[in-house]
Structures are given as structure tokens and as C-alpha cells.
Amino acid sequence: MPVHAAGAAFVDPSGAVLAADRGFLVTFRVAAGGAGGAGAPLRLRDDASPELRALVAGDGPAGATVPGPNRPVEVERVPAAGGALLIVRDPHAGDRTEHALRSQVLGRLVAGVAHDIKNPLNAMSLQIALLGDKLEGVADASQAASGHLVSLRDQIGRVNEVLRKLVDVTDPSAPLGYTDLGALLADVACLFAYEARRRRVDLSTDAHPGTVRTRCDPARVGRLVLGLYGRALALTPDGGRLAARAEGREGEATVVIEHAAGDPDGDLGYDTDVLVAGAEALGGRFERTRNERTERLTLTVPRNERE
């Protein structure tokens, strides 16, 4: 199947579906047998779009954009002996692939940048410590400089901690065989704190390190939690509220985010599909519920069995 193809089917000259994969059947709501099923002429379906009927019949151009179950899809018609091959493509598939690639590259980039920043910070900390030792013998100088030295040490420690959180979130490790979901969620929330303050979003986090663990791949879990939180904050209106918590249930580790429901953003629509697929790949699930005031996002993954 071509790159980014979401489904394919072979139709005869009358438009009857002779063979189709699951992607094609789901896209056009064609049942696998029975009325309207495989073998039913698509061009006669009441809900088939004019563009699709023309494409099946071979009228007009070899490609068209037609309505899909959630969003428009692109369909290409490739003539073949005894009929034609219809190829369905998701127009957003290329963007998703680019986002996945960027996510992988970002982790390596952050690790390199953090290393380049931490080395000068460590050198500065050492020089401050040496300077403090030299000033101890000079009473007036030591008293005058002590406050400044303490402030410098505190700020260096703060930068080191931000870098530690950034590296742990973008490229988490699991040296003990599990990922600490509570610590991960707490770090993600801290990294988004500036954006929340800028937009006056009230953040609250209930995530205690060491209490909720998952045995899933740490890199994938990290990307999912980061994407989940970022999506939720992006859709929270200015001045709204976002609450996140990590909790353990029997055999399951869960991240739940509830936030004020803002206007849906079409540019973030594909995020739900990505989160669903990512959670399923880890043996878990992603659920989204929404009412007029609140949206709830729930990511559930297998819990560490030795916890």
C-alpha cells in the first residue's frame, strides 16, 4: 500500500466493491457483507458523495477529496484490468509522521543542549565555592559577598533542576524497570507553569512520586503524557482551570486531566487519534469526555506488576 494510504478497495466497472481492506470499509461505512456490504455498488449508495460516485464511475479526474467519517479524505483511482483500484489517503498523515519524527529528534536535541548547559553551570558552581572559601578569611568581604553567593548558588540550582525535568520528560529512562508516572506528570506540569501563568490558567497537580508506576516503554509514555498535557493546556481558555492527577488502580496506572472546555481547535484534532493509537500500542487506552463546561482526558496504561 502507498505511503500514508489509509485504505484501499478494488471495484469493477459497475462500481461494485470486489475486495476492500478494513481502512476502506471503515472510511466509507461499508459493512463486511449484507446490505450495503462488500459487493454493493458504491455509486448507488444514498449517502455516497457526488465526488465519490464520479470517481468510482471513472468520470472526471483520477483523484478527489470526499467526505470521510470525521474529516475529508483524498481518494485516488488507479485503472486496472476488470475495474479500478481506489486508494484512500489521510491528508493529515504526512503531518503526523513529521510530528513523530520531530518528537524523536527533540529528545536527542534536548539531551545535547542540556549537557552543553550543565557543564558551564557546574563550572560556575565550582568557582563560586572556591570564591567563598577565599572570602572566608576576609571578614568584611565575606559578610558583604555571602548574600550574593547564596543567591547565585540558588539560581544555578534552579536552572539545573529545570534542565533535569526537561531531560526526564523528553527522554525518560527506567533504570529500575519502570516509569514513575507520578514524577513524570509532576515534571510536565512544572515545565508548562510559565505558559499557564502567562495565560492566567489555574494549574493543580496531584501526582506523588513513587506511588504510580508503569512497566511500559518510558520514551513512549513520556511522549504521550507530554502530548496529553500540552493538548489540554492549549484547549484551556485563558483564565480557566486545569487539574491533573496520577492514580493507580488494580493493574492499571492512570493520568487524568480535567480542564475548562474552550473552543475546539481544528489544528489539534488529530491529537486524539494519535493518543488513542499510542495508548493501544502500549496495551492501554485513551478516553475523552466533554460537556459544555469541562473536558476530561484519561490515559490508562498497564501498571508495574512489582509495585
pLDDT, tens only, 83-106: 888 888 776 665 665 566 566 556
Which residue did the predictor score with more confidence, 259 or 35? 259
β-pair partners for 11: 17, 84
Which of 34-43, 164-173, 282-291 shows the lowest per-residue confidence on average (mean pLDDT)? 34-43
Which set of grid coordinates corresponds to residue 262?
A: 474552550
CA distance 27 to 48: 12
The three-point CA angle 198-188-166 to 5° equals 100
Read off the pLDDT of each residue in 54-75 and give the average, rounded to a whole number.
77
CA distance 19 to 25: 10
Answer CATH for 5-91 from 3.30.2040.10, 1.10.3720.10, 3.40.50.1100, 3.30.450.20:
3.30.450.20
Residue 5 clears pLDDT 60, i.e. is over it: no
Contact 230, 254 (CB under 8 A): no
* Confidence class for position 47, pLDDT limits 50, 70, 90: low
Which of 47-56, 256-265, 272-281 shows the lowest per-residue confidence on average (mean pLDDT)? 47-56
Q: Does domain 179-302 have CATH number 3.40.1010.20?
A: no
* pLDDT for position 269: 55
Which residue did the predictor score with more confidence, 258 or 231? 258
* pLDDT for position 37: 46
Provide the residue ranges of all domains of the chain, joining segments of one domain with +.
5-91, 94-170, 179-302
Read off the pLDDT of each residue in 18-26 and give the average, rounded to a whole number.
78
* pLDDT for position 291: 87
* pLDDT for position 175: 73
CA distance 271 to 151: 42
CA distance 10 to 77: 10
Amino acid at 219: A
